Amino acid sequence: MSELPITSKDDVECAIIYKIEDPNTILGVKYSHWVPGSARGNDILYMGRIMGDTPPSEHSLEQIQEALLPVPADRIFPPLPIQWWRVRTVVTVADDWDEEPSPDIYLKRPWLQGFDERPDSVEGGSVQVAVWFAHEIKQLEQLARFPPHPNLVRYHGCRVRKGRITGALLGRVPGKDLWTHLQDGKTVDKEPFLTALASAVDYLHNLVGLVHNDIHPSNIMVSPDGVPTLIDLGSAHPVGEEMKIGVPFECWGGDPLDMDPETHYDGPGGSPTSRKSRDLASLHHLRTWLDNPVLETAIQRQQIETASLFVQVANKRMRAAAARVEASRNKAAKESETTT
């Protein structure tokens, strides 16, 4: 059993593992707990999973403690300096505090959704957390080169421990994300709300030079007085760049090109391209969605649509590859007939 300062289940975060084909079926539960280090000590992530269809409410504290094990730092924390396509990214180090930031600062840790903490998954299908987090830091550093926008997340630098980036210091936005804000029975003043978001997107596109690529209600914070803030640059890329990191949230209502398997993987390396049209289409969908937001099955719906899209894309690409092979064979056969 791990010796962690956990006295209740509220001390750990949990994420339910659902079956992709049936979002109502629970396959297991992943638990995580961060232990912040001092200026000289490393931050440590403990993770573990309890498999089976038992919901988190039925797991005991002893079961959770038994499952939690430390995750090697090199799997989740990118090293300094960040090497990015043969170019070093300048990183702002903001370590003037020991364990916890001030109340107006939010410490964002590496994104763990999709991460498999089990040792045998290192070379398998686990999300490369350190690579993804390094990418997000790169986009935040780009954003910080420009004056702050009132409706965009603010970046104050990185938390660094033992030569690795263990967190990003962001301006804390009071309030809740748009999903939760609406689920709590609150509303937004639609036109000023959308105007503010459009201003943030225009600033991001035309001054900063980035496309967000992941605009949806969970990435829009709403202050108590109804002001939006666009957060999470984990999928952001420069305009026109191939998206080798991050996933565009096309299935919530983004660019129609994303829903077409012919154009979804349109980058030179077979990945999506970072397009302004994706963000603009998401804003357009948001305008319609706010008139009648569907909240009860939102997460389940996006899981189903994501799986459906990936199947469509895979099938389309396989058919296209088969067609190219067939065309090549026919061409070779005709050339052979001509020479004979």
Strand order from edge to edge, sheet including 176-177? 176-177, 220-222, 228-230
Q: Indicate whether 285 belongs to any domain.
A: yes
Looking at the chain, the whole-number percentage of residues with pLDDT higher than 90 is 37
Nearest to 167 by CA among 138, 144, 145, 137: 137
**Residue 79, pLDDT score:** 87
Does residue 249 surpass a pLDDT of 80?
no
| Lookup: tokens for 301 | 């719906």
Residue-by-residue DSSP string for 187-242? ---HHHHHHHHHHHHHHIIIII-EE----SGGGEEE-TTS-EEE---TT-EETT-B
pTM: 0.78
Asked whether the beta carbons of 143 and 210 are under 8 A apart, the reply is yes
Rounded average pLDDT over 25-36 = 87
Count up the domains in the chain and report the number: 1
Q: Indicate whether 200 belongs to any domain.
A: yes
Asked whether the beta carbons of 48 and 67 are under 8 A apart, the reply is yes
Q: Indicate whether 56 belongs to any domain.
A: no
Specify the CATH number for the domain of residue 203: 1.10.510.10
Q: Which position has the higher pLDDT, 80 or 148?
A: 148
Amino acid at 277: S
**Residue 306, pLDDT score:** 45
Does residue 123 surpass a pLDDT of 70?
no
Q: Indicate whether 327 belongs to any domain.
A: no
**Residue 304, pLDDT score:** 44
DSSP state of 111: P
**Helix and strand tally (H, E) in the chain?**
8, 14
Q: How large is the C-alpha radius of gyration of the chain?
A: 22
Q: Indicate whether 158 belongs to any domain.
A: no
CB atoms under 10 Å from CB of 8, counted, come to 7
pLDDT in tens, 131-152: 889 999 999 999 999 999 999 9
Per the prediction, the chain carries an average pLDDT of: 79
Asked whether the beta carbons of 53 and 35 are under 8 A apart, the reply is no
Beta strand spans in the chain (E):
13-19, 22-35, 44-51, 69-70, 82-84, 87-89, 105-108, 155-161, 164-171, 176-177, 210-211, 220-222, 228-230, 237-238
Q: Indicate whether 252 belongs to any domain.
A: yes
Q: Indicate whether 226 belongs to any domain.
A: yes
Q: Which position has the higher pLDDT, 212 or 272?
A: 212
Amino acid at 12: V
pLDDT confidence bin for 95, thresholds 50/70/90: low
**Residue 125, pLDDT score:** 47
Rounded average pLDDT over 6-11 = 86
Does residue 297 surpass a pLDDT of 80?
no
Rounded average pLDDT over 294-302 = 53
The range of the structural domain enclosing residue 202 comes to 174-302
Q: Indicate whether 146 belongs to any domain.
A: no
